[in-house]
């Protein structure tokens, strides 16, 4: 595993985890057992979920400490609780690493998740573009100074702003205006999709939609789009219609940090505000982060108490550790290997006759259209899981099966790349996936009709696939040297 350290530190980490489980087990042994079982399951599975990875022992250990006990609402040097000097240190270091790693003017490390980071971004833009002008018109210094009539007007204005983001079935994220999500309820929302013939983003169509819709926020970024986005062009579109360009790079932040995505494909120098998670391809703890230019820094730093509750200082400590790791030269090699492996996986599937959305990949994501196997995404996901291959079903553009059953499987290479698998291994992974799906058929309902949910896997396939996957994984052990006893 490429996140491991020297033999001495590995031995120390092993002892630390064993000791932690002993302490936990003395209070609630079922929890200790579940934690150990999770490590065993992860060691024995081909993890191809694009949004998952393996954090280093140092990152994991940074989350289990006394920082968890401290309340620290506010921000660095301006807390609503006393005794936050150590939290200030931790948050300052995390923000420093984030600025240096991404070349950002400002970094905010408090968000608990990607959705929280996006909420901070949304409300920061609303505060800058809607609330501040309202205060100026009313001659008020702060919102508390507004009259009730002023408040009525401000509430109306805040609730009638427009957002334009990539549609869910085209590869966007549910926080980019999907109706069941808070983003789709906060904003008057419209989506842009991809070209029906190629599956690629059509910038002319995005420009036309922006000109017609005139959004306050134009969102770029994706959770299941296997190609790159030209953020320079997206910024040109945003500027043309007076929108703020917000980029959600939660999925590909590690590729930005590792300098695989640069120039027009790097969102940080092109967008006014950028959000991310710190796990996924960045290989840190579960959490979020916001990067922005100077114009939005003051609003972003008000994320707590604007939309966030108390920060999680122990998670910010883990973010700082992971960001420090990502600043090492080895992380650039890792990020490039992620993309190389993704392309090799795509090629391995294509040579076996599989259908891929857009015909390939430029990033860490491969989106497999499983309708060519006569399956729904839910059936394919279940058959692969039964065979020791962990994936997730995902919509494809204009998906006839909707967002629950889907027609696609999303595959990602960050986790297996962390384990040390290379391009030759990816061809074998492609063979295993194709082998399982080729020998899976849809099940039937109780009435005898074809089912979108159940599947039938040919005898012996799951066992043989899991065994071969185990042999492949044994060559690339996860957390080598860590023995829970």
Domain boundaries, the chain: 68-326, 329-474
Q: What is the average pLDDT across 42-60? A: 96
pLDDT digits (tens, 9 = 90+) for 372-425: 999 999 999 999 999 999 999 999 999 999 989 999 999 999 999 999 999 999
Mean pLDDT within 70-87: 95
From 18, 44, 73, 105, active-site residue: 73
When pLDDT is averaged across residues 65-90 and rounded to a whole number, the result is 95
What is the predicted pLDDT for the residue at 150?
A: 82
Is residue 452 flagged as an active site residue? no
Residue-level pLDDT at 3: 52
pLDDT at 7: 56
Rounded-to-integer distance, Cα 68 and Cα 271, Å: 33
Mark whether 30 is an active-site residue.
no
| pTM summary value | 0.94
pLDDT, mean of residues 442-456: 89
Fold of 329-474: 3.90.1150
CATH fold match for the domains 68-326 and 329-474? no
176 pLDDT tier (thresholds 50, 70, 90): confident
Which residue in the list 248, 266, 369, 425 is annotated as catalytic? 248
Share of the chain above pLDDT 70, in %: 98
C-alpha 425/C-alpha 420 separation (Å) is: 10
Task: Answer yes or no: 381 catalytic.
Answer: no
Q: With both helix axes pointing from N to C terminus, report the angle between 423-438 and 329-350 in degrees, rounded to the nearest 10.
A: 40
Catalytic residue selected from 47, 129, 227, 280: 280
Local structure of residue 130 (DSSP, 8 states): I
Catalytic residue of the set 71, 190, 332, 355: 71
Q: Is 460 left (phi over 0), alpha (psi -120 to 50) or beta?
A: left
Indicate if 463 belongs to the active site: no
CATH architecture of the region 68-326: 3-Layer(aba) Sandwich (3.40)
Catalytic-role residue among 79, 235, 286, 393: 286
Residue 105 catalytic?
Answer: no
Residue 131: CB atoms within 10 Å: 18
Q: Among 229, 231, 184, 192, which Cα is nearest to 209's?
A: 192
Please say if 334 is a catalytic residue: no
Mean pLDDT of the chain: 94
Average of pLDDT values for 427-432?
Answer: 98
Token pair of 70 as six digits: 């401290």
3-state secondary structure of 138: helix
pLDDT band, residue 287 (cuts 50/70/90): very high
- C-beta atoms surrounding 428 within 10 Å: 15
Q: Could you tell me the pLDDT band of residue 144, with boundaries at 50, 70 and 90?
A: confident
| Confidence band, pLDDT 50/70/90 cuts, at residue 4 | very low
pLDDT of residue 149: 86
Task: Give pLDDT, residue 8.
Answer: 66
**Per-residue pLDDT, 155:** 83
Buried b (16+ CB within 10 A) or exposed e, 272-307: bbbbbbbbbbbbbbbbbbbbbbeebbebbbbbbeeb
Instruction: Spot the catalytic one: 175, 194, 244, 277.
Output: 277
């Amino acid at each position: 595993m490429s996140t491991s350290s020297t033999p001495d530190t590995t031995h120390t980490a092993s002892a630390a985890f064993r000791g932690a489980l002993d302490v936990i087990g003395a209070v609630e042994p079922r929890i200790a057992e579940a934690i150990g079982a999770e490590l065993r399951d992860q060691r024995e599975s081909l993890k191809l979920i694009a949004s998952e990875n393996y954090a280093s022992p140092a990152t994991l250990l940074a989350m289990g400490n006394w920082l968890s006990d401290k309340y620290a609402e506010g921000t660095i040097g301006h807390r609503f609780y006393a005794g936050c000097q150590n939290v200030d240190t931790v948050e300052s270091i995390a923000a420093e690493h984030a600025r240096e790693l991404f070349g950002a003017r400002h970094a905010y490390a408090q968000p608990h998740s990607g959705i929280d980071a996006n909420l901070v971004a949304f409300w920061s833009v609303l505060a800058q573009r809607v609330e501040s002008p309202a205060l100026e018109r009313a001659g008020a210094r702060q919102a508390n100074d507004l009259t009730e009539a002023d408040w009525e007007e401000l509430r109306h204005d805040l609730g009638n702003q427009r957002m334009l983001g990539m549609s869910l079935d085209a590869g966007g994220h549910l926080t980019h205006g999907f109706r069941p999500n808070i983003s789709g309820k906060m904003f008057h929302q419209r989506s842009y999709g991809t070209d029906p013939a190629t599956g690629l983003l059509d910038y002319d169509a995005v420009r036309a939609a922006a000109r017609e819709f005139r959004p306050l926020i134009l969102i770029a970024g994706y959770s299941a789009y296997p190609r790159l986005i030209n953020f320079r062009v997206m910024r040109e579109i945003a500027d043309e219609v007076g929108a703020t360009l917000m980029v959600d790079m939660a999925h590909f932040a590690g590729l930005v940090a590792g300098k695989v995505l640069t120039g027009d494909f790097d969102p940080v120098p092109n967008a006014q505000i950028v959000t991310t998670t710190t796990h996924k391809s960045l290989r840190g703890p579960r959490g979020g982060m916001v990067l922005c230019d100077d114009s939005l820094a003051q609003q972003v730093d008000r994320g707590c108490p604007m939309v966030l509750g108390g920060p999680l200082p122990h998670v910010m400590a883990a973010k700082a550790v992971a960001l420090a790791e990502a600043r090492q030269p080895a992380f650039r090699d890792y990020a490039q290997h992620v993309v190389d492996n993704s392309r090799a996986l795509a090629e391995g599937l294509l040579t076996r006759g599989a259908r891929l959305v857009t015909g390939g990949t430029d990033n860490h994501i491969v989106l497999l259209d499983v309708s060519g196997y006569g399956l729904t995404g839910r059936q394919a996901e279940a058959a692969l899981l039964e065979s020791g291959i962990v994936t997730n079903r995902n919509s494809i553009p204009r998906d006839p099966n909707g967002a629950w059953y889907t027609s696609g499987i999303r595959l990602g290479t960050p986790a297996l790349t962390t384990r040390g698998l290379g391009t030759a291994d990816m061809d074998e992974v492609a063979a295993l996936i194709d082998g399982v799906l080729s020998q899976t058929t849809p099940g039937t309902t109780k009435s005898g009709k074809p089912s979108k949910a159940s599947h039938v896997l040919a005898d012996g396939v799951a066992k043989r696939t899991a065994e071969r996957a185990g042999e492949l994984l044994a060559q690339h052990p996860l957390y080598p040297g860590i023995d829970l006893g």
